[in-house]
Structure 1
Amino acid sequence: MPLRARARLLRHRLRPRVRLGRGVTCGRRVRLEADPGACIVIGDGVRLGDGTRLIARAGTVAVGRRSVLGERCTVVALGGIELGADVRLGDWVTVTDFEPAPADPETPIRAQPLHVAAVRVGDGAILDHGACVLAGVAVGPRARVGAHAVLAADVPAGGAAEGAPATVRAR
């Protein structure tokens, strides 16, 4: 099935909770999931690579116009995730807005509460292959996050972050 036909099929099946802009192209096995009360908004001209997953359990996942998400990217929201315009996510990038909030070492992790905080990636930012953005992080416009970086702190506009845990520096 051609890419545009696949996008039309997705638009029809997920109409109430997923809004696709014009010219959205989807690779194979793209998965868009929005639970009741949640929303996924994809801007005009966005390209979603093969195997990419956008999941909104609560809140909103917003992808700005002309953004490109590489193969097997995962974006999961419990609160809200916003990717600005012209954002580039390399292959295997993970963006989440939640993490465990371990309060009691005796209680299993699955039974403990989650810390949820919105994530914002500014216009023109680049997240290289395998980067991971954690809850509450803001990546400034035109910032760059290096390959396999684990980002737990904000990156200023035009800044860079590398390593695990990421070291943030201004350019």
Structure 2
Amino acid sequence: MLYWPRFRFRRGRIVIGDRVSMRSGVMIDAQSGVVEIGDNVSLNDHVVLLGHGGIRIGNDVRIAAASTLVSFDHGFDDPGELIRKQPLRKAAVVIEDDVWIGAGARILAGSHIARGCVIGAGAVLKGATEPYGIYAGAPARLIRKRGERRGQPPDQSGNPV
């Protein structure tokens, strides 16, 4: 069954660049934030973007099927209060240009994915990445830099050799 992309604005805003491809089941929910999508971006089947804290996706980004980007966390510190009644913590998700996010990845509030990164399938990322890094796992960790041979360290400036 084919499901068309769905957009929810509520008190937020969605800005979509040129040549953006959205496959079946994509959900973009700005909530109270702003979701900005650059040019030449592809959102594959069942990608979910939840934008309470804001989401900015750069140009030439590929996001594979069933990936989720969430720009807020639920509060849960007070055990005497229902979780649903505790305040949200909003924190933007930023994805720079030329990034590939693998199938089923989870990008959590406050994450900043640097230019040229690859985030492996099923990875759970929270925090910042290094440019051109390849990250995998849960939690996601730097495996190597693009352009390096396996097991080869970067040069002294940190760039791929």
TM over 0.5, yes or no? yes
1:128 is the counterpart of 2:76: no
The match for 1:159 is 133
Deviation at 1:135, TM superposition (A): 0.3
Give the stretch that moved more between structures: 94-103 or 120-129: 94-103
| CA distance, structure 2, for counterparts of residue 103 and residue 169 of structure 1 | 33
The match for 2:31 is 57
Q: Secondary structure at the match of 2:56?
A: strand
Deviation at 1:102, TM superposition (A): 2.1
* 1:93-150 CA distance string (max 9 Å, x none): 1001001232212322212111111110010101000000000000001101000111
Deviation at 1:62, TM superposition (A): 0.6
4+ residue segments displaced more than 4 Å: none
1:71 is the counterpart of 2:45: yes
| CA distance, structure 2, for counterparts of residue 117 and residue 80 of structure 1 | 7
Does the 8 A contact of 1:95 with 1:133 survive in 2? Answer: yes
| CA distance, structure 1, for counterparts of residue 79 and residue 140 of structure 2 | 26
Deviation at 1:79, TM superposition (A): 2.1
The match for 1:81 is 55
| TM-score in terms of structure 1 length | 0.80
| TM-score in terms of structure 2 length | 0.85
1:41 is the counterpart of 2:15: yes
Q: Secondary structure at the match of 2:14?
A: strand
1:30 is the counterpart of 2:10: no
